[in-house]
Copies of this chain bind each other. A is one copy, B any other.
Amino acid sequence: MAFNKNYFPRQEGDPPPLTAVCERRVRFEEVDVLGMVWHGRYPSFFEDGRIAFGDRYGLTYFTYVDNQVMAPVVQMHLDYKSPLRFDDRITIETSLHWAETARLNFVYTIRNPQGQLAAAGYTVQLFTDLQGVMQLMTPEFLLDFRRRWRDNHWA
């Protein structure tokens, strides 16, 4: 099934997205009575994707805590394309798309063991302080991160 949604269109001058890939195996408890992974479990797949991204690029929950911020998900979108089954080894590709403001725009692509698209989606995270107050200024560590990104640090 073709799928060419462009959740966060790249603007002229933006560095290309940064991408990390991880795998996961579908658990018995994740499959419903119809033999398919219940749609409400995919946020956990996305979370695994963000973790893999954080591992690779140094942008983790601990980074946030060290910098006195939290990064709550304020929007999540999922498009389901083909069912996943018990014991499927799935591949989760997670890309951070460039943004100028205090936000993280992640795009996720999940593939089944045959490499076919199973699902795609995105999340948007904003920043708050540790009391939950929204931070409109981009945190300094993220500005640093973006400087390295623009400098092709990981290319």
Contact = CB atoms under 8 A, between A and B. Distances in A.
Nearest to A43: B40
A72 B27 contact: no
Interface string A43-68: 11011100100000000011000000
A75 B79 contact: yes
Contacts of A47: 27-29, 40
Interface stretch (A13-21, A30-38, A101-109, A143-151): A30-38
Contacts of A80: 72-76
Interface residues of A, number: 37
B33 A86 contact: yes
Secondary structure at the A interface, as helix, strand, loop or mixed, is: mixed
11 contacts: A27-B44, A27-B47, A28-B61, A29-B38, A31-B32, A31-B33, A33-B33, A39-B43, A72-B80, A72-B83, A76-B76
Interface of A: 25, 27-29, 31-36, 38-41, 43-44, 46-48, 51, 61-62, 70, 72-81, 83, 86-87, 132
Given A76-B80, A77-B78, 19 more contacts: A27-B47, A27-B48, A29-B38, A29-B44, A31-B32, A32-B33, A33-B33, A33-B86, A34-B70, A40-B40, A40-B44, A61-B86, A61-B87, A72-B83, A73-B80, A75-B78, A75-B79, A76-B77, A77-B77
